[in-house]
Structure 1
Amino acid sequence: MKNNNLSDQSIESLIKQRNLLKGVAIGFGIVLLLSFSVILYVAVQKKNFGLIAVLPASMITLLPILIRFGQINTEIKSRQIN
């Protein structure tokens, strides 16, 4: 299993992870926006407004990526200050 402790990793490794997570978050966000628009369109056309409840619930899927991104940014900033 990989070591997930941020303090043991080099600054280059952290920057590489940050850039990767940023790309993943942007790509996943675009896919979510497209799926939101399709679900919203289908819900309005079929008059099935229960589908709209899926939209806020699916935002939770971005949460782990954003939490890890914040942790990496905090670690990078703390090392650059020192």
Structure 2
Amino acid sequence: MKKNIYQELTNEDLIKKKNTFKGVLIGFGIVFLLGIVTFIVLIAMKGAKDIPFAAFIPFIVMPATFVPLMINLGLINNEIKERNL
């Protein structure tokens, strides 16, 4: 099994990384939601026929960016729980 890279960090660095990952996830989430709302408005205005498939690519790729961030945030939270911080 792979070694947890967060075991080597100090308590302050661990909390700082947690806050950074949380902020990035919140930022990506807001951008993703704004994109979905914009996309729905465009579909309502133009119709689904006139929108090319390439417009769907960001919505296909975005979950792929969320998964590694959530995995790392989970590892950080587990390490924080182990240290009782």
- The answer to whether structure 1 residue 63 and structure 2 residue 81 are counterparts is no
Please give the alpha-carbon distance, in whole angstroms, between the structure 2 residues aligned to 1:22 and 1:41.
29
Higher relative contact order (CA 8 A, sep 6+): 2
Tell me the equivalent position of 1:22. 22
Correspondence for 1:75 among 67, 75, 79: 79
- Alignment pair present for 1:35 and 2:35: yes
Could you state the TM-score of these two structures normalised by the residue count of structure 1? 0.77
Q: CA deviation at 1:56?
A: 5.4
The alignment covers a number of residue pairs equal to 78
Q: Secondary structure at the match of 1:21?
A: helix
Unaligned regions of 5+ residues in structure 2, if any?
A: none
| Distance of 2:46 and 2:5 partners within structure 1 | 48
Per-residue deviation, 1:53: 5.4
**Which stretch shifts more, 71-80 or 37-46?**
37-46
Q: Which runs of 5+ in 1 are unaligned?
A: none
- AA paired with 2:27? G
Write the deviation string for residues 4-26 of structure 1: whole angstroms up to 9, x where unpaired.
81111111110000011111111
